[in-house]
Amino acid sequence: MNKEARWSLILVVALISCGEQGVSVNSSQPEEVEPGLRLEGEDHFAALRQLTFGGDNAEAYWSFANDQLVFQANNPSWGTGCDQIFVLQLDDDFTPSSTPPSQISNGLGRTTCAYFMPGDTTVVFASTHLADTLCPAVPPRGPKGEYVWPIYEGYDIFTYDLHGALISQLTDLPGYDAEATISPTGDRMVFTSTRSGDLELFTCKLDGSDVVQVTDELGYDGGAFFSPDGSQLIWRASRPQTSEEVEHYTDLLSKGLVEPTAMELFIANADGSNARQLTDLGGANWAPFFHPSGEKVLFSSNHHTGGFPFNIFMINADGTGLEQISFDSAFDSFPMFSPDGKRLAFSSNRNNGRTRNTNVFVTDWVE
């Protein structure tokens, strides 16, 4: 498989939800994880464990109590035609099983971007099931072979309990509403929406009220997360500048598409004030998440390759001190610290037997 084809595959798997895509364990799971999960140079990783084996599993996000992960998974052996939401309980004696984890979503439409609500008894995620119970089509490449990413108008944001019972629908406006994450302080939510005519960030209370728009520049603003103290937001964004770039972006958006190949990271106060660009690396820089100190940010990037692979990097919140964290030859992304700051969950193509599987990993974090 050539470089462009492999990169496109990874992006389809990983970016189609939150900007972009919970656990996939199938009957072909090996009895033991193969040695060598931690690669040379990955000095921040210790006790690295592979939690899933097979299928497409990504965006694994922690519960407030540090003992569960909620994620997206597409595993045909489970009857998932496209991404659905699952939850995994991480007990001390947890061992991956051939039995699928508990499914929270109803199996209709496509789902994305699940996140625990305070109390860890409910989760929030986006779903297209009200617009269409079938999986929406994945768009073809552009006329020049460009990779494009669908912005499904049918996405709305819902909360469900861990048994799969609907609690509430938080959005009901026409257009795309997805990519919701919760402040560690438990008072507000940030999400991406096209309600203004562009892909912008909004915050609201956890019941969907008091909606505030926090970005207003042309380009795709998405995949946002709060800082540990809830005072700031970190997100990825495209910023078309030339008339040709603007025309290309707006034309694609009118068709429900974006081209996520040029993105940088931005930081602002939680109300959108004092917004500033954090990275200027080129390529696709995305999936940012704050270090527990609030003074650094982890993210996924291909700036060092210009295409493929993607690896995890860390940078100071003032834009200095760029450091490579993972050294995979394929794909590492969606780094997320547990609330206690002791462990890091991420998704990777490592140890997949040269298949197309993306799996979830958890490691103890070493400063």
Position 218 scores a pLDDT of 98
Give residue-wise pLDDT tens across range 87-132: 999 976 666 666 788 999 999 999 999 999 999 999 999 999 999 9
Residues 356-367 have a mean pLDDT of 95
Check whether 32 has a pLDDT greater than 90.
no
- How far the first Cα of the chain sits from its last, in Å, is 37
Write the Ramachandran bin of 88: left for phi over 0, alpha for psi from -120 to 50, otherwise beta: beta
Q: How many CA atoms lie within 13 A of 61 on its CB side?
A: 28
Check whether 33 has a pLDDT greater than 60.
no
The secondary structure of 259-319 as a DSSP string is -TTSBEEEEEETTSTT-EE-----SBEEEEEE-TTSSEEEEEE-TTTSSS-BEEEEEETTS
Give residue-wise pLDDT tens across range 272-320: 999 999 999 999 999 999 999 999 999 999 999 877 899 999 999 999 9
Give residue-wise pLDDT tens across range 178-192: 999 999 999 999 999
Domains in the chain, CATH or no CATH each: 3-28+38-365 (2.120.10.30)
The answer to whether the beta carbons of residues 85 and 100 sit under 8 Å apart is no
Mean pLDDT across the chain: 89
The answer to whether the beta carbons of residues 167 and 101 sit under 8 Å apart is no
Residue 149 or residue 143, greater confidence: 149
Position 19 scores a pLDDT of 45
Residue 18, Cβ neighbours under 10 Å: how many?
Answer: 31
Give residue-wise pLDDT tens across range 65-93: 999 999 999 988 788 999 999 999 997 66
Per-residue pLDDT band for 354 (boundaries 50, 70, 90) equals: confident
Residue 259, both tokens: 């081209």
Check whether 16 has a pLDDT greater than 50.
no
Position 305 scores a pLDDT of 87
Residue 251, Cβ neighbours under 10 Å: how many?
Answer: 10
